[in-house]
Amino acid sequence: MKNWLTKSSFQQLFFIVILLIFSACDGRPKGVLNKSEMTDILVEMHILDGALDAKGLLFSQNGEKDKYYTALLEKYEITQADFDSSVVWYTKYPKKYTKIYEDVFAQLTLLDQEVKKGKYHPVDSIEFYTVKKNIWNKLTHFVYSKDSVRTRLVFEIKDSSLLFGDVYILRFLQQIAPQDSSKNPHILFRINYANGKVDSVSQKTYNDSLLRRFTFRIPVHKKLKIKSISGQLLSSSVYKGVFHAKLDSISLIREYRSDLQDSLRNVVEKADPKKYNSQKKQLSDSLKKVSPPKKMDKNSKPTIQ
């Protein structure tokens, strides 16, 4: 009995030592997420990035996107400091971080395949009427060097089919080198209405040679006639001569319901009081101008004109 207890105690001690050795090999400081936790939160964070990008909120400056990231951290019961510390620690060990991202990529790939097969979103009949049309009518690729003429790369697209209920999605890749002399570089995207009103978004960018993908999404909520869609892809507060920038894969998607175009156009016309009252006045005036037929003299004959 004594020998059995001794052997059992030795086995327990052996396993404890092994656990301590593996723990020591991992070397994670207190507060740093383990591999499984880091993988799970990075998967959900990339999914969240995609969702915010699709809604045009990824580069929003009004703090609206922050609440989504805060909720994600609260779900895993960690703070922003915990997550930041974990990222910093794993970047010191590239092999560990690479393995984590291999798992992240595998999970996201599987999720993408399941979504495309309709596992989470069965096909809705509305989708059959949703049209996505690229209305960008300029070059999709621009390269500017120090010898190029400085430009803000202004664009304006006019199309009589643009309508209330549309969604406009501007996407492109942008890279500005440090030697570019622009100050406060930024991007502008606008919807211009016929009555002078404007819906717009802007986004600051940077002269740091990083290639960034930008996505701007503006849904048309105003029941007004649209004059044009315009913007500046290389806007800046000050230019000092030297130009060094690149843009690529530019597209401007108009997303709309093909089955609702006539009814939405009628909504816009009725919602425009100035136009509606003008039409009403013209109708009223034309009625006033109609005089009753004159009585014909018995001896007169009708004339045909």
Is the model's pLDDT at 278 over the cut of 60?
Answer: no
The rounded distance, in Å, linking the Cα atoms of 137 and 225 is 21
The rounded distance, in Å, linking the Cα atoms of 175 and 27 is 39
Work out the number of other CB atoms within 10 angstroms of the CB of residue 74: 10
The rounded distance, in Å, linking the Cα atoms of 18 and 274 is 82
Task: Classify residue 228: in a domain, yes or no.
Answer: yes
Query: Do 148 and 255 fall into the same domain?
Result: yes
Residue with the bigger pLDDT between 244 and 54: it is 244
Per-residue pLDDT reduced to its tens digit, 93-122: 989 999 999 999 999 999 988 887 777 766
Residue with the bigger pLDDT between 254 and 285: it is 254
Task: Classify residue 10: in a domain, yes or no.
Answer: no
Is the model's pLDDT at 157 over the cut of 60?
Answer: yes
Query: Do 112 and 132 fall into the same domain?
Result: no
Per-residue pLDDT reduced to its tens digit, 28-69: 888 899 999 999 999 999 999 888 887 777 776 667 788 888
How high is the pLDDT of residue 35? Answer: 93
User: Which helix H or strand E contains 229, and what residues bound it?
Assistant: strand 226-235
Query: Do 99 and 151 fall into the same domain?
Result: no
Report CA dihedral (83, 89, 95, 99) to the nearest 10 degrees. Answer: -10
Provide the mean pLDDT of the chain: 82
Q: Which domain holds residue 148?
A: 128-259
How high is the pLDDT of residue 125? Answer: 59
Query: Do 146 and 216 fall into the same domain?
Result: yes
Question: 107: closest CA among 58, 42, 24, 53?
Answer: 42
How high is the pLDDT of residue 286? Answer: 46
CATH code for position 139: 2.60.120
Q: Domain boundary at 93, 116, 139, which?
A: 116
Number of structural domains (the chain) is 2
Choose the most confident range, by mean pLDDT, from 11-25, 126-140, 166-180.
166-180
Question: 206: closest CA among 188, 230, 180?
Answer: 180
Question: 170: closest CA among 254, 247, 49, 226?
Answer: 254
Task: Classify residue 158: in a domain, yes or no.
Answer: yes
* Orientation of helix 261-271 relative to helix 273-288, angle to 10°: 80
Query: Do 243 and 148 fall into the same domain?
Result: yes
Query: Do 149 and 89 fall into the same domain?
Result: no
* CA angle centred on 290, ends 284 and 295, rounded to 5°: 155
Per-residue pLDDT reduced to its tens digit, 284-302: 554 444 444 454 454 544 3
Question: 156: closest CA among 190, 198, 181, 179?
Answer: 190
Task: Classify residue 297: in a domain, yes or no.
Answer: no
Query: Do 97 and 175 fall into the same domain?
Result: no
Task: Classify residue 284: in a domain, yes or no.
Answer: no
Tell me whether residue 231 is exposed, middle or buried, using C-beta atoms within 10 angstroms of its C-beta: 0 to 12, 13 to 18, 19 or more: buried
The rounded distance, in Å, linking the Cα atoms of 121 and 118 is 5
Residue 88: helix, strand or coil by DSSP?
helix
Per-residue pLDDT reduced to its tens digit, 6-28: 545 555 555 554 444 444 446 78
Query: Do 96 and 209 fall into the same domain?
Result: no
